[in-house]
Amino acid sequence: MEPLFGLVLGLMLAVASPAHDSCTCATNKWAVCAQEGPGNCTCRLAGSHHPVDCSTLTSKCFLMKAEMIPPKEKRLWRPPQAVSATDGMYNPDCEDSGVFKARQCNQSSTCWCVNTAGVRRSERGGSSLSCSELVRTRWIYIELTHKRSSSAFAVAAVAEALTQLFESRYKLHPKYIAAIKYEPPLIQIRLDQNKKPSWDVDIADVAYYFEKDVNNDSVFPSNRKLTVSVNGDALAIEKLGIYYVDEKPPEFSMRQLVAGIGAVVTVVLLTAGIGIAVLLVLRWLRTRTYKKFECKEMREIKAPSLE
């Protein structure tokens, strides 16, 4: 009887083990997953307990919040004070749906307005700063270069490979890829998404996932590394730049612009003043040398007549 019981128990463990191993999130390595019954794998965002839909991308706001929390399994923790060093990394306030709140603040009660990509679009202010709406980022421009050691590819092949990449890896519908331009080694991609239905991914989330992939800090599990190939040849991405364009102009005041223009004018005036001063000194030195030479010649001419 005991051998039979052991056999049954072994079969049960063998069946349960794959189910346990499969309880992972395919689109977010920071999600914490747990098997809550046969075929019921629940994943939540680390530190916030927000449920994660692993069939699509996690919102950028939730991802940034997860990055500020140091779970044991993460390789690197960016401390909360990183907000004072750059606008790109801060602990954001998110709506329950995962979108950014229009106003973001840090621990020192400094606040600013952001767009749907979480990018600052206003000057910093105090806790009384008001952000009337969350302005949508409609266009995203991605510029990247491949290593010059790589040979140039056909333009159509590059466009096809990147379109397939964004569709298969980031779940982005091709209709949101407005243009792909290739002038070796520069590749330019324009994403255009005026309105986003609930079933489509946001281009801001796509751009963030792509940026993390290129910078070797992928949000995907380690078994889903980014590989880009064009007709079987690897496309080695070297540099990446991402630029955001909102439906409405940013709300920066003219003070910052005037200060920047004033600094430029000051530098130009100082440079011009130094240049003029140098020219005047050189002219004075040349004139002085010429007068000395002229006086010496006059003395030499007058000397014979005195004998």
What percent of the chain lies above the pLDDT cut of 70? 73
230-258 tens-digit pLDDT = 988 888 898 899 999 999 988 876 444 44
Q: Between 199 and 294, whose confidence is greater?
A: 199
Q: What gap in Å lies between CA 144 and CA 154, rounded to an integer? A: 16
The strands making up 177-183's β-sheet, listed across from edge to edge, are 177-183, 186-192, 137-146, 237-246
Q: What gap in Å lies between CA 9 and CA 254, rounded to an integer? A: 74
Whether the Cβ atoms of residue 75 and residue 206 lie closer than 8 Å to each other: no
Closest listed residue to residue 187, CA positions, set 208, 168, 159, 229:
159
Whether the Cβ atoms of residue 104 and residue 82 lie closer than 8 Å to each other: no
Whether the model clears a pTM of 0.85, i.e. scores above it, the answer is no
pLDDT at 17: 39
C-alpha radius of gyration, the chain, whole number: 32
Q: Please identify which residue in the block is written with the tokens 């990449």.
A: 165
Q: Tell me the β-bridge partners of 186.
A: 145, 183
Q: What gap in Å lies between CA 120 and CA 64, rounded to an integer? A: 14
78-121 tens-digit pLDDT = 344 333 334 657 889 999 999 999 999 987 789 999 999 999 99
Could you tell me the residue ranges of all domains in the chain? Answer: 31-67+88-252
pLDDT at 271: 75
12-56 tens-digit pLDDT = 444 443 334 578 899 999 888 988 878 789 998 876 678 899 999
